[in-house]
Structure 1
Amino acid sequence: MIIEHFDTDYLILLFSILLILGVVTTKLSSRLGVPSLVLFILVGIVMGSDVLGIIYFDNANVAQLIGVLALIIILFEGGLQTKWKAVKRVMAPSLTLATIGVLLTTAIVAVGVKLVLGIDWLGAFLVGAIVGSTDAAAVFSILSGQNVKGKISSTLEAESGTNDPMAVFLTLSFIELLTTDNGNVFLFIGSFVWQMGIGLLIGLLLGRLSSNSINKISLDSSGLYPVFALAFAVFTYSITAMVNASGLLAVYVAAIIIGNRDLVYRHSILRFNEGFAWMMQILMFIILGLLVFPSELMDFGLIWRGLLISFILLFIARPIAVFISIHFFDFDLKEKIFLSWAGLRGAVPIVLATFPLIAGVENSQLIFNVVFFVVLTSALIQGTTIQFFVKKLSLSGPVKAETSHSLEIVSIGHANAEMIEYHIGENNELIGKTLKDVQFPNKVLINAIVRDKQLETPTGDTTLQQNDILYILVDKNSLKHLNEFLERQITTRDFVG
């Protein structure tokens, strides 16, 4: 039955079913070795009018709204988890990939689209711009389950977090050229400088303002702190977009600043945003799947053209863009090959493909279908072979500890204390020391140690071991001193480059 009337209870039931299917799908994706985003999209397609006929959805405006909101939350969560010490070492090549790399990819794909689809040059460059950037949601999701060298994973994460603005700028510019007669190259260059510069500036300013506000405000409930942080993320995007600058860049920059500063209720903020980002990712891909009509995709002409454009992107455009962009940086051949292959496409191209639909660009439906086909093949081919390339190219990093344990303090809202989780990794100076020999800052208490998945009760004679997970109760006024102390225990060898 296709939804034609908005019955509140029915829609709420449907929403819950979609979320349940999305969560179960993540479990299946790990077992099947298929990226979860592919299965999310398939859920949307199956629920759509062309298959089961449960939902009829063709509103590109609503899809775009949900997509942009989801991207804000996903980029914010990704930025919170980004370690600045790791990213700053690869920021130069990442930004080069995010700018020059996107331009090169756009140009090469445009030539292919012109030859394959036979549309005009502006339309071909529009398609190239839409698929020109890697996708933060896809990259963060794929890399979170892989054991990739720190240098490579940091480069990919920083690139995917910063190349969306370039793709958005190029897409909107080509749409304007296609729909108006007032296009001016110099105005576009000035607009790009404005968007990137102001986006970066607002992100820096609001990142500091957000973190200071989170630490200084005294809320009645600890559960409000994650909401407060998320509100700043949406506000950062909105205020930046209002001045015609890059809101997505501002959100990612602000999130990196917030995530790398001392925060009260840090654990709660990170966990809340991680869960919310997953929910928005599920919702976004399902909605985008609903926007697709399989009857339009099951056309042999579209299939072979889509496969050919995907081939050009995966095996020609992306590798050329990577090898040229980072030619002068310290990456060996294996690392360049992996960076070429791991540039996944995901939600961003599909969301950007809704812009031509809304603007009424000629061949907009064909462009949307081709982009969707390219994203699907990218996720299926690249996403399922990432681990193979990691092993084949010998790019595995140190084993990451899975800190799935959690200790929570109930009624901590007004307490002047916080519980933090700390993993003792390789090359940590605490290894081999007893607790009584470690000069922790004042007002710090080791509450528990998880060792080999077993809970240990700490005493002064407890010897700390590699991969121990410490749960530390600390006075809020001592939190900064504790973080500085723990930071000094880690050697630079923990970053594998």
Structure 2
Amino acid sequence: MASLDTVSLAILLGAVLVLAGILSSLLALRFGAPLLLVFLAIGMLAGDSGPGQLQFDDVRTTYLVGSVALALILFDGGLRTRFASIRTVLAPSMVLATVGVLLTALITAPFAKYALDLNWTESLLVGAVVASTDAAAVFLLVHTQGLRLRPRVGATLEVESGTNDPFAIFLTLMLVEYISLGTGTAAHVMMEFAQEAVLGAVVGVIGGRLVVIALNKVALPQGLHAPFVTTAALVIFGGSQIMHASGFLAVYLAGIIIGNRPTRAHNSVVAFLDAATWLAQIVMFVLLGLLVSPSRLGGSVLPAVGIAFVLMLLARPIAVFVCLAPFRFNWREKIFIAWTGLRGAVAIFLASIPMLVGLSKAYLYFDVAFVVVIISLLLQGWTLAPAARKLHVALPRAERGPRRVELDLPGQLEQQLVGYPVRPKSLYFRRGLIPSWSKPTLVIRNESILTPIEAEPIAPGDYIYLLAPPEKAESLDRFFVDMQPSSAPDPHLLGDFMVSGEHTLAELAEIYGVKVSEDESGHTLADYFDVHLDRAPKEGAELVLDPIVLVARSISGGRVNVVGLRLPEDEETPPPLTRRQALRRKLADLWSSVAGV
């Protein structure tokens, strides 16, 4: 019975720790503190050096929980990533995720060697452990601090932080293997990297497609779709690892495949994974906090603080500026991307690998990573929002959207039911406007269900449900938010015509014959200003689109909503391009589509 009581006590204490982390997150959100520090602090207070006096040194369990947590976090990140929004930043993001991680480790290593009295291989391992940014830390802080980043900057950070973990893990494992076995050549390392990357990509793409087929073909009972997808993600991760492929890359790619295909119960899957990743992060950080021993940190605190500042102020900025040199990022964007290289659970998780295999000085790597993460979250985490605004990479927050309800309809994937409360100042109520691709289906009024015809005229306070394609559901929001008063046109602006900022570049190209890249053809004029201006748009801002000059005539909710078109004078037809000029233009267009310039 004593052993049963011990198990019950462990369950109770574990649940209390997680509950304390969840409740304390409310306080951290209120004051803008990095939430991940709260979970670490809970674990430290419960550990053997804190009031809790819990003896915990199970590195294997911590590694297991950390692997599952990181796999779910990366899968959730891929699931929420729209491929259309990241296509133009794939090249700079992948360079940052590979060359950037390697450069960061190489620049950090010399300081670690002399500060910690290590040999070159051990110091490079320290650099590899702290080299990658943490996706969960970056976007959790961006969300909690109310930031809306410029699309190109946000997409670059999103893809980089989601894809640099596999390379950092690979680099760490290679160095641990070399230190423990004393063997390894450059050719062996390159072969291992190629095998892990290629196999991981193949398993991720195939696994993602199989999950999509299973979701749409297998008639699962209601409520089991989300657990099925979550379990399938872990199967993809575990299978990849057994095949000596990168499981972390595989689950991230599988998430992108699943998130960009029409599937059943997509909304319930996303909501379930949101809760699962939150719980995974809390458990992982609490366990990492339990492993920390403040009494052991004394001898390595000062060198670790020095490494943290070298990483933030020297290694990361140099790596970012070198990697982004071929791409047209301005200096403000480069500085912000460099400063947003937050370290989080990944660094501490990587530092647990030497402990797991029993390397000498293993606890030194863990303690250094812990101090680096604390300083990064405190210094970079708390200054993220001011830095974004000071560097003009933050857009004004859009007005809060309406409360949207999305319901999947069994038996088909093309339509879903989308519901909104009707506001008295909304575009739908005042003008009766609704997109042609949506169809009002039912209205709820005073707890009664009515057809749209029975409910005529629609009244404020009604709830209306419409059929709409899942990928367009969010576009309905603007019809159900309060209309903002539009500003009067500025007579000093020289636009010959005025059009709505909601028109797409493809529509403009069709009417005026301007040249628009395929990647940007679906962007609205408002999107075009967001992407290409160096700062938040203001009235009078101008952008060139082929021969036309776009002039911002009116701003609403921080975005351009009326655009003036300044058309060129008639000019002589230019002479046809030579073959060499045509080839150069095609190569330039190809580079623009890949590099996002």
Using structure 2 for the length normalisation, give the TM-score: 0.72
Q: CA deviation at 1:216?
A: 2.0
Deviations 1:3-35 (A, max 9, x none): 998623322222221222111122121222221
Considering Cα pairs closer than 8 Å and 6+ residues apart, tell me whether 1 or 2 has the greater RCO. Answer: 1
Matched with 1:115 is: 114
Q: CA deviation at 1:479?
A: 4.5
Deviations 1:184-238 (A, max 9, x none): 21011011011111111211111122122112221222x1111111111111111
- Higher-strand-fraction structure: 2
- Rounded Cα–Cα distance in structure 2 between residues aligned with 1:484 and 1:275: 21
Q: 1:332 aligns with which of 316, 330, 333?
A: 330
For 1:207, the aligned partner's letter is G
Partner-residue secondary structure (3-state), 1:119:
coil
**Is 1:268 the equivalent of 2:264?**
no
- Rounded Cα–Cα distance in structure 1 between residues aligned with 2:100 and 2:459: 49
- Rounded Cα–Cα distance in structure 1 between residues aligned with 2:333 and 2:395: 13
Matched with 1:102 is: 101
- Rounded Cα–Cα distance in structure 2 between residues aligned with 1:244 and 1:104: 25
Percent of aligned pairs sharing the same letter = 36
For 2:24, the aligned partner's letter is T
Where in structure 2 are the equivalents of 1:378-397 lying within 5 Å?
Answer: 378-397=376-395
- Rounded Cα–Cα distance in structure 2 between residues aligned with 1:471 and 1:174: 59
Where in structure 2 are the equivalents of 1:50-449 lying within 5 Å?
Answer: 50-145=49-144, 146-221=147-222, 223-297=223-297, 299=298, 301-400=299-398, 402=400, 405=403, 407=405, 418-420=416-418, 434-435=432-433, 438-440=435-437, 445=441
For 2:370, the aligned partner's letter is F
Deviations 1:363-385 (A, max 9, x none): 11111111111111111111111
Structure 1 pair 4–356 and aligned structure 2 pair: CA distance change class (3 A): farther
Structure 1 pair 277–480 and aligned structure 2 pair: CA distance change class (3 A): closer
- Rounded Cα–Cα distance in structure 2 between residues aligned with 1:190 and 1:395: 39
Partner-residue secondary structure (3-state), 2:48:
coil
Matched-pair contact (CA < 8 Å) for 1:122–1:178: yes
For 1:121, the aligned partner's letter is W
Structure 1 pair 81–185 and aligned structure 2 pair: CA distance change class (3 A): same
The size of the alignment, in residue pairs, is 471
- Rounded Cα–Cα distance in structure 1 between residues aligned with 2:84 and 2:157: 15
Matched-pair contact (CA < 8 Å) for 2:406–2:418: no
- Rounded Cα–Cα distance in structure 1 between residues aligned with 2:348 and 2:180: 20
- Rounded Cα–Cα distance in structure 2 between residues aligned with 1:47 and 1:408: 41
For 1:141, the aligned partner's letter is L
Tell me the C-alpha RMSD between the 2 structures. Answer: 3.3
Q: CA deviation at 1:53?
A: 3.1
For 1:66, the aligned partner's letter is V
- Rounded Cα–Cα distance in structure 2 between residues aligned with 1:65 and 1:232: 17
Structure 1 pair 6–291 and aligned structure 2 pair: CA distance change class (3 A): farther
Matched-pair contact (CA < 8 Å) for 1:440–1:485: no
Partner-residue secondary structure (3-state), 1:445:
strand
- Rounded Cα–Cα distance in structure 1 between residues aligned with 2:14 and 2:503: 45
Matched-pair contact (CA < 8 Å) for 1:169–1:192: yes
- Rounded Cα–Cα distance in structure 1 between residues aligned with 2:216 and 2:412: 14
- Rounded Cα–Cα distance in structure 2 between residues aligned with 1:21 and 1:193: 43
- Rounded Cα–Cα distance in structure 2 between residues aligned with 1:53 and 1:69: 26
For 1:78, the aligned partner's letter is G
Structure 1 pair 260–415 and aligned structure 2 pair: CA distance change class (3 A): closer
Matched-pair contact (CA < 8 Å) for 2:402–2:420: no
Matched with 2:580 is: none
Matched-pair contact (CA < 8 Å) for 2:406–2:416: no
- Rounded Cα–Cα distance in structure 2 between residues aligned with 1:46 and 1:336: 38
For 2:318, the aligned partner's letter is I
Give 5+ residue unaligned stretches, structure 1: 424-428, 450-456
Where in structure 2 are the equivalents of 1:20-59 lying within 5 Å?
Answer: 20-59=19-58
Q: CA deviation at 1:441?
A: 5.7
